[in-house]
Structure 1
Amino acid sequence: MHELPLVFFTVFTQSAVGAFVLLLIGGTLGQIEARRMAVGLFCAMCLFGIGVVLGIFHVGQPLRALNMLLRVGHSPMSNEIALSAAFAALGGLGSLGLLISRGTNGLCKALVWLAAAVGVVFILAIPQIYQLPTVVTWRSSYTTVMMILTALIGGGMLAALFGLRLGLLVSVLAILVSFCLRSGYISTLMSADGVLTAAQTNWFTAQAALLALGIVGVVIWVRLKANPAILAVTAVAVIAAELVGRIAFYNLWTLPM
């Protein structure tokens, strides 16, 4: 499990950015009050920070990570680091400002929207790191799609925890899309490396089961008229599903002989 820090880093940061963007959109559409949006934005930044801290454990000597910034614009990993730092700075300052001033600060609103734009680029930049010609199980458009879906599935459910119904809809639709794409994704992986892919069957099965549990949780939550405990358990289930799926993804690392 050498890649476990990256599992948490990618899933937590992608979900946090997804929640951040959806909360802003929901606030603009008037689907969530300013105060709850500010709290949600700040919590999303806290999750993003946790993901970044956990990701640092993957770097043998964290201080050397600063050297990667010298390749910004040329190296996908350098771009990821720079974008994560920019999102953390802009989103952290903006969300904290909105939380303290109760959403009336124009500058803070500008900062969070700028952070959202950077966050979208960040989500798109992460999959580029794994488009390696030497790792055929990673070099696929499915890698990009599945990571974007993580932002929508996890981010949507997190946004729903703060009262954004739009987040719930986005999460459910993204889960359904992931199920529709699953057979094609597995087929592509089997073509690349059947033995290695078959070894991940239990992980992929567990992910599908947890995502299905997420759908069931949403249905129960709707029927029970917005029971917050049910929604919280559902959010945990879908985040766990993405973590399990990401473990399978990193287990697919292979080099041709």
Structure 2
Amino acid sequence: MHELPLVFFTVLTQSAVGAFILLLIGGTLGHITPKRMAIGLFASVCVFGLGVVMGIFHVGQPLRALNMLFRVGHSPMSNEIVLSAIFSMIAGIAALGLLLNRGATKLFTVMAWLAAIIGVVFIIAIPQIYQLPTVPAWRTSWTTAMMVLTPFIGGGALAAALGVRRLGAIISIVAIVVSFCLRPGYLSEIIMADGALASAQSSWFTAQAILLAAGAAGALVFLRTKSAPTLLFASAAVVIVAELVGRIAFYNLWAIPM
């Protein structure tokens, strides 16, 4: 269970950044009111913060995490920590400023878009940490592809629950379909890299696929029938859980099963 904090850290932060960006896009397109967008942005930052807090438990002695800052620009993990801190700060100030609506709306909006750009860099930085020669099942472009899908799958579902319902749901459904298309290639790659460990994760990957399908089906029903938002909230929760389950399988490819 040692890597469980990283499971929550990566999935929650990636999904939060995805939701943050989609809420901004939805607000720009007029799919959501400014007030509701501000609430959604602030909620996304809270989810991001929760992921960061969960990730701290992985460090063992959190104060030693400061030592990682000395390797910024050279260490992917140091880059990840700094980017997460910068995103939290700028996105938090922007979201709070828009939520309080005390003026300087344009400034806070610009800050929000700046945070979105930093968030994209953060998302790209995470998979670079796992390109380790000692873990063949991780050192592949499939790791990047599957992790980059999380902001669309989980982020889309979270954005839908936070207000941009149609845009978020569509993005999440499309990303889930893409993930299913990529899944055979990904599974084939990790089986070739480490057949024993990959086979041991079959139940996790199967559970993830079932949950993703259920979440996508629920979102699709919501879009077609315009049913109560409760269905959308439930679908979003199922999708996030699915991504957590898939990430557990990913970390189990290291060696120590959870």
Normalised by the shorter chain, which TM-score bucket? over 0.9
- Change in 2 beyond 3 A, CA 1:190/1:103: farther
Aligned partner of 1:178 in structure 2 is: 179
Tell me, in whole angstroms, the C-alpha distance in 1 between the residues paired with 2:226 and 2:25.
24
Flag structure 2 segments of 5+ consecutive residues without an equivalent: none
Taking structure 2 as the reference length, the TM-score comes to: 0.96
Tell me, in whole angstroms, the C-alpha distance in 1 between the residues paired with 2:206 and 2:141.
21
Aligned residues of 1:130 and 1:139 also touching (Cα < 8 A): yes
Q: Look up the equivalent residue of 2:61 and give its one-letter code.
A: Q
Q: Does 1:13 align with 2:50?
A: no
Tell me, in whole angstroms, the C-alpha distance in 2 between the residues paired with 1:215 and 1:6.
25
Alignment of 1:49-68 (within 5 A): 49-68=49-68
Deviation of 1:163 after TM superposition, in Å, equals 2.8
Tell me, in whole angstroms, the C-alpha distance in 1 between the residues paired with 2:147 and 2:136.
17
Aligned residues of 1:38 and 1:102 also touching (Cα < 8 A): no
Aligned partner of 1:127 in structure 2 is: 127
Alignment of 1:13-52 (within 5 A): 13-52=13-52
39-48 vs 158-167, greater mean Cα deviation: 158-167
Aligned partner of 2:251 in structure 1 is: 250
CA deviations 1:58-96 (Å, max 9, x no partner) are 001100101101110000000000000000000000000
Aligned residues of 1:34 and 1:102 also touching (Cα < 8 A): no
CA deviations 1:184-221 (Å, max 9, x no partner) are 00000110011110000000000000000012101321
Flag structure 1 segments of 5+ consecutive residues without an equivalent: none
Alignment of 1:36-185 (within 5 A): 36-101=36-101, 105-164=105-164, 165-185=166-186
CA deviations 1:36-69 (Å, max 9, x no partner) are 1111000000000000000000001100101101
CA deviations 1:75-124 (Å, max 9, x no partner) are 00000000000000000000000000078612111111110000000000
Q: Helix, strand or coil for the counterpart of 1:138?
A: coil
Tell me, in whole angstroms, the C-alpha distance in 1 between the residues paired with 2:195 and 2:228.
43
| Overall identity of the aligned pairs, in % | 66
Deviation of 1:143 after TM superposition, in Å, equals 0.6
Would you identify which runs of 4 or more consecutive aligned residues in structure 1 move more than 6 Å?
none
Tell me, in whole angstroms, the C-alpha distance in 2 between the residues paired with 1:228 and 1:60.
40
Deviation of 1:34 after TM superposition, in Å, equals 0.8
Aligned residues of 1:137 and 1:254 also touching (Cα < 8 A): no
Q: Look up the equivalent residue of 2:28 and give its one-letter code.
A: T
- Change in 2 beyond 3 A, CA 1:31/1:135: same
Alignment size in residue pairs: 255
Q: Helix, strand or coil for the counterpart of 2:136?
A: coil
Aligned partner of 1:3 in structure 2 is: 3
Deviation of 1:222 after TM superposition, in Å, equals 2.6
Q: Does 1:213 align with 2:214?
A: yes
Deviation of 1:132 after TM superposition, in Å, equals 0.6
Aligned partner of 2:200 in structure 1 is: 199
Aligned partner of 2:230 in structure 1 is: 229
- Change in 2 beyond 3 A, CA 1:59/1:107: same
Q: Helix, strand or coil for the counterpart of 2:198?
A: helix
Tell me, in whole angstroms, the C-alpha distance in 2 between the residues paired with 1:223 and 1:184.
31
Aligned residues of 2:172 and 2:216 also touching (Cα < 8 A): no
Deviation of 1:173 after TM superposition, in Å, equals 0.4
11-20 vs 101-110, greater mean Cα deviation: 101-110
- Change in 2 beyond 3 A, CA 1:97/1:67: same
Aligned residues of 1:156 and 1:170 also touching (Cα < 8 A): yes
Aligned residues of 1:35 and 1:103 also touching (Cα < 8 A): no
- Change in 2 beyond 3 A, CA 1:78/1:134: same
Aligned residues of 1:2 and 1:58 also touching (Cα < 8 A): yes
